[in-house]
Amino acid sequence: MTTRLFPLLGLAALAKAATVTYDFSIDWVTANPDGMFERPTIGINGKWPLPIMEANVGDQVIVNAFNNLGDQATSLHFHGLYMNGSTHMDGPSQVTQCAIYPGSSFTYNFTVKQPGTYWYHSHTKGQYPDGLRAPFIIHDPNNPFKDMYDEELVLTVSDWYHDQMPGLLNFFISKANPTGAEPVPNSALLNETQNLTIPVEPERTYLFRMINMGAFAGQYVWFEGHNITILEVDGIYTQPAEADMIYLSAAQRCSFLLTTRNSTTENFPIVASMDTTLFDQLPEDLNYNVTGWLVYDSKEPLPEPAILYEDFDPFDDMTLIPWDNEPLLGEPDRIITLDVIMDNLGDGANYAFFNNITYVSPRVPSLYTALNAGELATDPRIYGEYTHPFVFEKDEIIELVINNIDSGRHPFHLHGRSFQAVWRSEEEAGTFEDSNVTSESFTPIPMKRDTIVLFPEGNLVLRFRADNPGVWLFHCHLEWHVQSGLIATFVEAPLELQKELVIPKNHIDACEAAGVPTVGNAAANLDYLDLTGQNMPPPPLPAGFTTKGIVAMVFSCISGILGVAVIAWYGFADVPKEEPSTIVAPGKAAGAEGGVVEGDGNGSGSGDDASSPTAQKETVVGTISNNGDDEITASGGGRDRVP
């Protein structure tokens, strides 16, 4: 049993903006958080779990990241931070930067302007589930709830794989996995471990900052014997809301108050249970729950959690009201409808699509294309069809309609902002268009967050104001679907970006080290409208009969017809009379040619007389040429000839 707590420094006391610097050497360590399997894991400065990043609102944060992995490129995304004015520090590789190659350094330098619970993780090639993920807490000196709690604790839930992502991804996106079944985690973790104990004191109120840092599994979380009061989701303060169970999808966060009981006679389980509806199959040996305990008295036993037999009924985050009471944004200037589709491409593998496009990284990071394209930066074509680009003008109100054609849950995350979640349907409600919902039905004060769950075959409507120039990804935060292409690129006010943004030399150096071009369109062409050579997904599956199919079919038909013709020819052919000389093998039972000839209707008695017209022939009758038949004619067997 491991006790691993993340006590916070309480920087909230500091009022002045400071510079917080982290020197991260990203390298391989071994870890065995579920006690079942030791595996290489991506650590920082030789350690895993990773350090929690902390800062105050207004602080400048500098992360000097050195890639010491040796065999994998990496990058860091600071999940949930708006990165206003610093879109180039957002982290996704080939979007706002080049991946940091082994042996390269990269400096992230940004000012945090928002309070709340965030996290940082790799945003390169589905890498973070291998370990590169940790909380990032931004304290708020003006926290409206600061007097309501005595202590802050960070609690993460996550899923854990024993295999490493590159191998799992090779399987996931392959013809051997045509249904796109996502690998099922081997364990669930609390604070990157199991059997976590959290010592608590009675009658005390704790602020839990909870983060799902998993790759795939959403998690139901509850504290036996305690209710919780939600105060923040994804960095957005909310009106306090009581709950007994919450659901956190991958990448979602939730802060809540938990007030302890007044007696110390009992300890209470904390349970996180992976959402098994996401799993294609449920391995028999999988424990999809992870348990920790609120420990009032370490001498008391740690009870097994009670088994819940009824369906989980987690708190509905759509009912939350933001603390700032921001009303529904006005009628949108632009409506973008994205249908979530899973389908197979010509390599037989399963891919994820927004409408008919599965994301493929451009050759030049999209941000660099935007900065170098001049006036053409507002033309979505230059970002390449397969980055699925949308270009917004400054301060446009955008409405995103997302229809889930797929039967799975998808947590959608928008970089660079929170959005208003103005409508979310139940499961299997069909498309938004078909459900006849109008903006009158939208929540007047919509919940805001940066990652939201879209239900199976349901729909979702989000609104936001394009007031943050930059290049931002909108994607499903199931790491599998990031790799299978469920991503769109929002290019926001690129002309403004060109005026204010300068890419640090350090970033360009990273591109040089990686051999990635930094100018040109998505195809790295300087003629920005010439996309020849852009990265593309595999072609679609061939539909029915292609040329080779037709050729094969024609050949097969010809073969069949020829074969039938030959058989008919053989079948109708008269068996020729053989030359007499060839039929008689003296002393042998030869192939009895012409041995039987009928007369012309007059019964001529038993067959021992020689009255046949063909009597002149030399004929041997007796043993038929078919050797296998001899036993039938047993009475005549073994005879050379009939006299």
Partner 1 sequence: MAVEVFSVPIFLVVFREALETVIIVSVLLAFLKQTLSGPSHQTVEDLNLHKKLVRQVWFGTALGLIICLVIGGSLIGVFYTVGSNKWDATELDYEGAFCLIASVIITVVGFALLRIGKMQEKWRVKLAAAMESPVRTGRFSFGGTMKRFFEKYAMFMLPFVTVLREGIEAIVFVAGVTFSAPATAVPLPVVVGLAVGGLVGWILYKSGSSTRLQVFLVISTCLLYLIAAGLFSRAVWSFEQQRWSRLLGGDVLETGSGAGSYDIDQSVWHVDCCSPYVNGGNGWGFFNALLGWTNSATYGSVISYNLYWLVVISAFFVLRFKEVKGHWPFMKAKSGGDVGVVSGAPQNSSGSVATGKGTTTTNVVAEK
Task: Choose the stretch contacting partner 1; rule: CB under 8 A; options: 56-64, 94-102, 178-186, 219-227.
Answer: 178-186
Closest alpha carbon to 441 in 328, 608, 354: 328
- 341 contacts partner 1 (rule: CB under 8 A): no
Output the six-digit token pair for 471. Answer: 């290049």
Task: Choose the stretch contacting partner 1; rule: CB under 8 A; options: 121-129, 225-233, 529-537, 635-643.
Answer: 635-643
CA max distance for the chain: 133
- 590 contacts partner 1 (rule: CB under 8 A): yes
Asked if 214 and 220 touch (Cβ cutoff 8 Å), the reply is no
Site string for partner 1, 81-110 (x = CB under 8 A): ------------------------------
- 597 contacts partner 1 (rule: CB under 8 A): yes
Asked if 148 and 327 touch (Cβ cutoff 8 Å), the reply is no
186 vs 518, beta carbon nearer partner 1: 186
Closest alpha carbon to 525 in 295, 399, 379, 364: 364
Closest alpha carbon to 411 in 231, 128, 217: 217
Site string for partner 1, 301-340 (x = CB under 8 A): ----------------------------------------
Q: Binders of partner 1 among 238-257, rule CB under 8 A?
A: none
Separation between Cα atoms, residue 108 and residue 91, nearest integer Å? 9
Binding residue for partner 1 (CB under 8 A) from 17, 181, 335, 376?
Answer: 181
- 283 contacts partner 1 (rule: CB under 8 A): no
Sheet containing strand 419-424, strands side by side: 350-354, 334-344, 397-404, 459-465, 419-424, 447-449
- 356 contacts partner 1 (rule: CB under 8 A): no
Site string for partner 1, 550-589 (x = CB under 8 A): x-xx-xx--xx-xxx-xxxxxxxxxxxxxx-xxxxx--x-
Question: CA neighbours within 13 Å on the CB side: how many for 121?
Answer: 25
304 vs 574, beta carbon nearer partner 1: 574
- 70 contacts partner 1 (rule: CB under 8 A): no
Binding residue for partner 1 (CB under 8 A) from 36, 74, 177, 188?
Answer: 177
Closest alpha carbon to 216 in 476, 526, 22: 476
Site string for partner 1, 513-552 (x = CB under 8 A): ----------------------------xx-xxx-xxx-x
Separation between Cα atoms, residue 539 and residue 26, nearest integer Å? 36
To partner 1, the closest distance from the beta carbon of 274 in angstroms equals 21
Separation between Cα atoms, residue 63 and residue 20, nearest integer Å? 8
309 vs 569, beta carbon nearer partner 1: 569
- 621 contacts partner 1 (rule: CB under 8 A): yes
* Beta-carbon count within 10 A of 357 CB: 19
To partner 1, the closest distance from the beta carbon of 481 in angstroms equals 17
To partner 1, the closest distance from the beta carbon of 537 in angstroms equals 14
70 vs 605, beta carbon nearer partner 1: 605
- Kindly state the number of chain residues that form the binding site for partner 1, as judged by CB under 8 A: 99
1 vs 552, beta carbon nearer partner 1: 552
To partner 1, the closest distance from the beta carbon of 430 in angstroms equals 22
276 vs 582, beta carbon nearer partner 1: 582
Distances (CA, A) of 226 to 253, 293, 387, 631: 19, 12, 46, 92
- 445 contacts partner 1 (rule: CB under 8 A): no
529 vs 585, beta carbon nearer partner 1: 585
Asked if 94 and 68 touch (Cβ cutoff 8 Å), the reply is no
Question: CA neighbours within 13 Å on the CB side: how many for 639?
Answer: 13
Binding residue for partner 1 (CB under 8 A) from 303, 343, 400, 420?
Answer: 343
To partner 1, the closest distance from the beta carbon of 613 in angstroms equals 9
* Beta-carbon count within 10 A of 209 CB: 25
- 634 contacts partner 1 (rule: CB under 8 A): yes
Give the CA angle between residues 79, 85, 88 to the nearest 5°. Answer: 60
Separation between Cα atoms, residue 620 and residue 639, nearest integer Å? 10
Q: Name residue 138's amino acid.
A: I
